[in-house]
Structure 1
Amino acid sequence: MTNPYENLNARTALITGAASGMGEATARLLAAHGARVALLARRADRLTELAAKIEADGGRALVVPADLTDQASVDAAAERVHTAFGPVDLVVNAAGVMLPNPVTDGRADEWQRMLDTNVTGALRVIRAFVPDLTAAARAGRTADLVNISSIGAHVPFPNYAVYGATKAALTYLSQSLRTELGPLDVRVTNIEPGLTDTELASHVDNAELSGQLDGMFEALIGLTSHDIADLIAYTTSRPRHVNLRQVIALPTRQA
């Protein structure tokens, strides 16, 4: 039987937010199908543990501690990846923070953190690695940019206005980049998960909103990080002329 993910073999992937959640699950799955994975996140200890698991399973992983809110840190990370692995041909922007609170609370610190990570951080990664992707495509290889947005990009939820706005920006950015990179044979995929069990919920410091999330998970049977990783692996392993441009993944019970 043909392996549906065989096109991932021998590819070189960069995954942000790899210390947990969707990023971690994606790194493990891509590595299991033969991709070399560069693991980028702030928590070096978590990345080291993940790399050890991947290598114990026969994969190859590179630990790249970095802070996406710091341009110098991203530049240093790109240099480390290029030195160890050379150019990449698959980029997954999985890093993100979700800090819901009423806008009337005026939490400018939270607003800035979400903008710096969810939008500007993704842009820094794109700037650093898109030249790799376009070069891979010119050489006739498959090249992918995957951005993980959220259903909140276009479905409003009370108290999530700024988070939703950052994800709407990422969704629009993906759409616009497709007009620039598609003609260069670089695929751009935007994934919008619904309720998913990740560390994002642990970022919430509002007890009432945190409790609401817990109740939603129980009622809706949320997705897992592996569910989203599986979508990414499937999307990026299609023939290079096929671009699954937009994927919305919801729990069956979520309207």
Structure 2
Amino acid sequence: MSTHTAKPLAGRVAVVTGASSGIGEATAEKLAGLGARVVVLARRAERLADLVARIEQRGGSAVAIAADVTDPAAVRAAADRVAAELGGADLLFNNAGVMLPAPVEELATAQWQQQIDLNVSGLMNVIGAFTPQLVAAAAERGVADLVNTSSIAALNIFPTFAVYSATKAYVTHLSRHLRAELGAKQVRVSAIEPGIVGTELQSHVTDRGALDWLAGAKDAMEWLTPEDVAETVGFLAALPPRVNLQQVTIMPTGQAS
């Protein structure tokens, strides 16, 4: 087997946000295993250090940058560091996010704002900082990837999840527009739309009704794992440059909608 076949992402530089746990952590490990040099970005420096150590123990290459994606200056500084140290990113997995469902009548305005700040504004901060690197890399190498984490909630209706679902609908629709804008420059844009994945996301939920719904869902079906989503991101990035999967919906087999 050739090295290229074994390591289809060799020579590529991947930035993963929300990398300290869950889907981001698993995807960073997967992309490193496929040969990419991975930059792991999140707020929790200690978790990132552990992740980098694990990747390096397996023969991979990783760099940790502790930053909050809701801080535009911190994200720009991270992008500058990636450019200076690694020559810029050609794969961005824009994954940081939070889910805080509650009935709208509870007026949980702080939770509304937290979801908008991270899932929308944080997403845009990262896109703004790294898109020039993706465009430059695509011009030089013929391909670059922007993969945004959306949700099945972008498409389907989940009572009490209105604000979260609206932020994810933003992610999916934005991704479609960016694909049209950047595809001509050989930057592929994809939205990943998972159903229920077992991650830390559920541990942030405070609403009793939503917690009961999640508990019932866990009893009723086997949830996706972060590794399932990571496999999909690796698959997208390894496709021939002419191929762009615009939206990928990944559902637990037992989840009806």
Could you tell which deviates more after superposition, 80-89 or 26-35?
80-89
Shift of 1:135: 0.9
Aligned residues: 255
Per-residue displacement from partner, 1:70-123 (whole Å, max 9, x unpaired)? Answer: 111111211222222121100001110000001111111111111111111111
Shift of 1:214: 2.0
Per-residue displacement from partner, 1:195-222 (whole Å, max 9, x unpaired)? Answer: 1111100010123321321220221211
Per-residue displacement from partner, 1:170-189 (whole Å, max 9, x unpaired)? Answer: 00000000110011111001
Find out whether 1:232 has 2:233 as its counterpart.
yes
Judge conservation of contact 2:13–2:91 (CA < 8 Å) in 1. Answer: yes
Structure 2 letter corresponding to 1:187: R
Equivalent position of 2:132 in the other structure: 131
Alignment of 1:134-173 (within 5 A): 134-173=135-174
Equivalent position of 2:205 in the other structure: 204
Equivalent position of 2:243 in the other structure: 242
Find out whether 1:193 has 2:194 as its counterpart.
yes
Structure 2 letter corresponding to 1:221: E
Shift of 1:5: 6.3
What percent of counterpart residues are identical?
Answer: 50
Equivalent position of 1:39 in the other structure: 40
Shift of 1:4: 5.8
Structure 2 letter corresponding to 1:215: G
Q: TM-score, normalized by length of structure 1?
A: 0.97
Q: Using the alignment, how far apart are the partners of 1:5 and 1:249 within structure 2?
A: 25
Judge conservation of contact 1:5–1:233 (CA < 8 Å) in 2. Answer: no
Q: Using the alignment, how far apart are the partners of 1:207 and 1:106 within structure 2?
A: 15
Equivalent position of 1:222 in the other structure: 223
Judge conservation of contact 2:142–2:186 (CA < 8 Å) in 1. Answer: no
Could you tell which deviates more after superposition, 199-208 or 36-45?
199-208
Could you tell which deviates more after superposition, 135-144 or 12-21?
135-144
Q: TM-score, normalized by length of structure 2?
A: 0.96
Change (3 A) 1:22 1:4: farther
Equivalent position of 2:91 in the other structure: 90
Equivalent position of 1:115 in the other structure: 116
Q: Using the alignment, how far apart are the partners of 2:105 and 2:9 within structure 1?
A: 46
Structure 2 letter corresponding to 1:91: L
Judge conservation of contact 1:5–1:237 (CA < 8 Å) in 2. Answer: no
Q: Using the alignment, how far apart are the partners of 2:139 and 2:82 within structure 1?
A: 21
Equivalent position of 1:27 in the other structure: 28
Q: Using the alignment, how far apart are the partners of 2:217 and 2:6 within structure 1?
A: 33
Equivalent position of 2:75 in the other structure: 74
SS in 2 for 1:212: helix
The alignment yields a C-alpha RMSD, in angstroms, of 1.3
Could you tell which deviates more after superposition, 233-242 or 202-211?
202-211
Structure 1: which 5+ runs fail to align?
none
SS in 1 for 2:203: helix
Structure 2: which 5+ runs fail to align?
none
Q: Using the alignment, how far apart are the partners of 1:5 and 1:118 within structure 2?
A: 34
Q: Using the alignment, how far apart are the partners of 1:113 and 1:77 within structure 2?
A: 22
Q: Using the alignment, how far apart are the partners of 1:88 and 1:164 within structure 2?
A: 29
Structure 1 letter corresponding to 2:115: M
Equivalent position of 1:175 in the other structure: 176
Shift of 1:194: 0.4
